[in-house]
Amino acid sequence: MPLFDDEFLKKLEYLSIISKRVFAGHFKAERRARRHGTGVEFADYRAYVAGDDFRHLDWKAYLRLNKLILRLFEEEEDLPIYFFVDTSQSMTYGSPSKLDYARRIAAALCYIGLANLDRAYVVTYADKIRSELPPQRGKGRIFKVFRFLEDVTPGGETNAREAFKTYCTEARRRGLAVVISDFMDPAGFQNGIDILRHFRHDIFVIQVTSHEEVAPVLKGELVLVDSESNLSREITVTPGVLAAYRAEFARFGEEFEAYCAKYQLGYLRTVTDYPFEELVLKVFRQGRFLK
């Protein structure tokens, strides 16, 4: 089955319409950052200093106070959206695979951003940045996003810290960073996200899991092989071992969710057979993706 068929496109248009209806009055044409400048929306006053623009003096205040007072205005500027898609080898696990699901989610959210005239970047990573689509704008560019995601080649170990550090130190503007991954990072999920926090991005993470990981159906004498490091371990799978694994897997998710709550990051956890359009609506309801 193709990743982005006609049915997928119909669902994208549905999501675009829903986003405009549900968030009418909350989300204007673009995500924006505000800073004091020469815009049209009044923000504050301050005392005049030599070199300030006389055009922004408040002459009524001068007549009342006999002081030169400058009017400050808010200036709007676009905030980009960065979509980071984990393409490490562990993302190929599951049916459907975590990577296929992640690509569909990235494409859907990117389409919504493009339809709202945001500037969208799509980046794949594993142990380093693997590929990057130049910034796109306007929903007609979604087909470039499709081709880029379809051409992704998975592989390699996960090192989000190194990948994000390399990317963020190349004079990137602050924006919304959407990270879609299983977060199975040997160094821990915090290390990569901490880099994005350090560079003051607004962060939304989507943790993708498969049913085979959440509730594995295994028993007996097995040799388990790590898909990224190729390390193997012989193990006897018993009901007790499976129960301990499920408890540890649940603890991992709870720890990740608590970390995101602590730093006020957007967070959703999903499984690969959950309808992607329902997940996108959940993202919207958190009120962080479009502002």
190 and 62 together in one domain: no
* Cα four-point dihedral sign 32, 37, 40, 41: positive
Q: Specify the pLDDT at position 60.
A: 80
* Judgement on whether residues 27 and 126 belong to the same structural domain of the protein: no
Residue 30 has what pLDDT? 42
Domain housing 212? 79-286
pLDDT of residue 47: 75
Q: Are residues 99 and 38 in the same domain?
A: no
Same domain, 94 and 143: yes
The whole-number average pLDDT for the span 143-171 is: 94
Under the banding of pLDDT at 50, 70 and 90, the label for residue 52 is low
49 and 108 inside one domain:
no
In a domain, 239, yes or no: yes
Residue 256 in any domain: the answer is yes
Residues 99 and 66 in one domain: no
**At residue 3, does pLDDT exceed 90?**
no
Question: Per-residue pLDDT averaged across 209-228, rounded?
Answer: 94
Question: Do the domain assignments include residue 9?
Answer: no
Give the pLDDT score at 231.
95
Instruction: Give 214-217's long-range contacts (Cβ < 8 A, gap of 24+).
Output: 214/246, 214/249, 214/271, 215/246, 216/242, 216/245
pLDDT value, residue 227 = 93
pLDDT at position 36 over 80 = no
Q: For residue 125, what is the domain's CATH number?
A: 3.40.50.410
Do 137 and 55 share a structural domain?
A: no
91 and 53 both lie in a single domain: no
Share of the chain above pLDDT 90, in %: 60
Q: Are residues 219 and 164 in the same domain?
A: yes
